């Protein structure tokens, strides 16, 4: 992973930086709370936290336009929050309650929002990649100018269906940004043990798909790369690949003790490359915000997350009759 390079005087307004700070912090605090609720037994099943990767979705959402679509894997809470889905609805889905975005019937990995163009939440590794190309196919067919962000991991990047999709997406010039969230691990398998090359994006060259590496710990770098990729797609030039180098601080899922890496490795990334600390530093050194301003934001975010948690505990469990709704057969 690229170490963070602090852009000393980035060409970005205080308002923009504050927005990224707030959005990344919301994801981090939300995920910490989800971890707590899991520990208390209020969340069952799988729960994959996004802590450490926040700059990826926040940067790319900043490059997206109204009408663009997004689809991802099971590590999906950050994507949902970044595109504006209600934190209470996400948390209540985690606790399996009727107020959840899938009425408590989907859980962590299966949430959708037609309103926000969020197409899941997919538990089968790599399965969302062809689906993302399908969404882009629909946009191209309808000539609506939409772009689909199709997120997948470094592990998923070794799946055959990814390359079948690359072929079709390139052949038909589909407006899709393939975002490889390279957090360096696929469950307990490091990239070095599973992947023949250090970088993955250049596999697109075989299909004529351009791409690049992005520092996923720098929200401004992610946004800039996202804008470039989206402009490429909207100009009708077909797909684009962003390999975003990032890192997850927590285990693969809540049941992973993460014995395949050292505490020091994680600590080093936290200290040297944390994406939220990066923006915090930019805000403070650029005199865009004071410590007190940031404390007020922290408080505000904590309140949003606490309310989401309260809602997720108070919302009732779905009734038995709900078993017969939302069935497409």
Ligand X SMILES: Cc1ncc(C[n+]2csc(CCOP(=O)(O)OP(=O)(O)O)c2C)c(N)n1
Could you list the residues that contact ligand X (CB under 6 A)? 73, 75, 123-125, 153-156, 183, 185-187, 252
Q: Is the dihedral of CA 10, 77, 67, 19 positive or negative?
A: negative
**Measured from the CB atom, is 19 or 159 closer to ligand X?**
159
The 3-state DSSP class for residue 2 equals: coil
Options 11-19, 118-126, 148-156, 213-221: segment touching Mg ion (CB under 5 A): 148-156
Count residues binding Mg ion (CB under 5 A).
Answer: 4
Options 30-38, 99-107, 131-139, 183-191: segment touching Mg ion (CB under 5 A): 183-191
Q: Alpha-carbon distance 36 to 18, whole Å? A: 27
- The one of ligand X, Mg ion, none whose footprint includes residue 75, by CB under 5 to 8 A per kind, is ligand X
Q: In the chain, helix, strand, coil percent, each to 5?
A: 50, 10, 40
- The one of ligand X, Mg ion, none whose footprint includes residue 156, by CB under 5 to 8 A per kind, is ligand X
Q: Of 154, 218, 243, 274, which lies in the binding site for Mg ion, with binding defined by CB under 5 A?
A: 154
Options 40-48, 160-168, 186-194, 290-298: segment touching Mg ion (CB under 5 A): 186-194
**Measured from the CB atom, is 140 or 252 closer to ligand X?**
252
Q: Of 53, 183, 195, 215, which lies in the binding site for Mg ion, with binding defined by CB under 5 A?
A: 183
CA distances to 32, 82, 164 from 76, rounded to whole Å, are 14, 10, 24
Please give the full DSSP string across 214-243, using - where no structure is assigned. Answer: EETT-HHHHHHHHHHHHHHHHTT---EEEE
**Measured from the CB atom, is 17 or 55 closer to ligand X?**
55
């Amino acid at each position: 992973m690229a170490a963070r390079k602090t852009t000393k005087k980035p060409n970005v307004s205080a308002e923009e930086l504050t927005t990224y700070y707030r959005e990344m912090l919301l994801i981090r605090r939300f995920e910490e709370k989800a971890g707590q609720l899991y520990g208390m037994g209020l969340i069952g099943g799988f729960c994959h936290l996004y802590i450490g990767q926040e700059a990826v979705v926040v940067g790319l959402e900043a490059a997206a336009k109204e009408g663009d679509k997004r689809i991802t894997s099971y590590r999906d809470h950050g994507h949902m929050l970044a595109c504006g889905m209600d934190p209470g609805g996400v948390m209540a889905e985690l606790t399996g309650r009727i107020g959840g975005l899938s009425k408590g019937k989907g859980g962590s990995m299966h949430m959708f929002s037609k309103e926000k163009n969020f197409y899941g939440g997919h538990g089968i590794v790599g399965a969302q990649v062809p689906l993302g190309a399908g969404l882009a196919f629909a946009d191209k067919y309808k000539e609506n100018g939409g772009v689909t962000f199709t997120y997948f991991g470094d592990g998923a990047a070794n799946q055959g269906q990814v390359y079948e999709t690359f072929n079709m997406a390139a052949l038909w010039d589909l407006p899709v940004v393939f975002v490889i969230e390279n957090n360096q691990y696929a469950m307990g398998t490091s990239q070095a043990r599973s992947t023949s090359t250090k970088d993955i994006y250049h596999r697109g060259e075989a299909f004529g798909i351009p791409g690049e590496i992005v520092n996923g710990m720098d929200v401004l770098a992610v946004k800039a790369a996202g804008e470039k990729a989206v402009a490429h797609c909207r100009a009708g030039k077909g797909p684009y690949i962003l390999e975003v180098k990032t890192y997850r601080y927590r285990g693969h899922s809540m049941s992973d003790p993460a014995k395949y890496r050292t505490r020091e490795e994680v600590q080093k990334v936290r200290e040297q490359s944390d994406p939220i600390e990066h923006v915090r530093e930019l805000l403070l050194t650029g005199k865009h915000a004071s410590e007190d301003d940031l404390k007020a934001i922290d408080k505000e975010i904590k309140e949003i997350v606490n309310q989401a948690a309260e809602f997720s505990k108070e919302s009732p469990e779905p009734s038995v009759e709900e078993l017969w709704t939302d069935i497409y057969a």
